[in-house]
Amino acid sequence: MQRDGALHVYLLQVRVAIRLSFADRANFWLQVGGMALNNGFILVMWFMFFAGFRSVGGWRLADVALLIGILALTVGAAGVFAGGYRHMADAILREDVDALLTQPRAVLPRLLACESIASAWGDVIVGSVLLATFAALHWWELPALVFALAGSLAVYLATGVLVASLAFWVRGARSFSRDVVDLVILMASYPGSIYSGAMKFVVYTFVPAGFVVLVPVAFLREPSVADAALLGGAAVVYAALAVAVFLAGLRRYRRA
């Protein structure tokens, strides 16, 4: 790899973004603590629920802990290492892309690495604790867990990039992109047994919460080649679609 390659530039930029997020230590820890507290409140509600009910639709406390752990770690990792996805539509509409186009480097990685969200560390901490303690995982399942998290992160980030890229065509994409990402998080926060019919179609297509958490959970609980292929295929398809739409929008932006 050349030292001026896209990956090298991304790693340098994300390192700078992470350092900047640590700059105000008091604010950093307040944000981390606030996010951890928010996640803790949700967890307490689930613990109280399962104190009265052994299971719901076949889902037990350990399964919900696994689901929320994967979701928190996915959202946290995206915020820490690619936090620019949250405000990408804003960056496009503010024409921040102009400065990036003057440099012979890939634009998308730099947009993703332009920010590291301090509060996302709270998600990373909570997700890691849940997966290490309450999710009923074993150390020999670590490779499967890494694969599941990688697939989840790829689909989640791709969704964020895809909807943010609509800002190249539609000014209203600023709020729309945030709403879609928040909807993915919301729908991924519940056991898959509550989804059926049309809603099940939605969570595996337009709002891919199914590929962010439900397929990874199913794969970790009962590993199979079919689920591995499904998750890997979804990650590739969503990532390819996101990159294609972003590049198409970028070409339009250059011509404007």
pLDDT of 203 reads 94
Please list the helix, strand and coil fractions of the chain in percent, rounded to the nearest 5, in that order.
Answer: 80, 0, 20
Residue 37 lies in a domain: yes
| Domains of the chain: total | 1
8 Å CB contact between 215 and 192: no
pLDDT of 4 reads 55
In this structure, the number of other CB atoms found within 10 A of the CB of residue 23 comes to: 9
pLDDT in tens, 134-152: 999 999 999 999 999 999 9
Residue 1 lies in a domain: no
- Cα maximum dimension of the chain: 61
pLDDT in tens, 147-182: 999 999 999 999 999 999 999 999 888 899 999 999
What residues of the chain score a pLDDT lower than 50? 1-3
Residue 96 lies in a domain: yes
Q: Which residues contact 217 (CB under 8 A, 6 or more apart)?
A: 63, 66, 67, 70, 148, 192
pLDDT of 73 reads 97
pLDDT of 1 reads 38
Residue 222 lies in a domain: yes
**In terms of residue numbers, what domain contains 116?**
6-255
Residue 22 lies in a domain: yes
pLDDT of 209 reads 95
pLDDT of 226 reads 96
- Cβ density class 5-16: b for 16+ within 10 Å, e for less: eeeebbeebbee
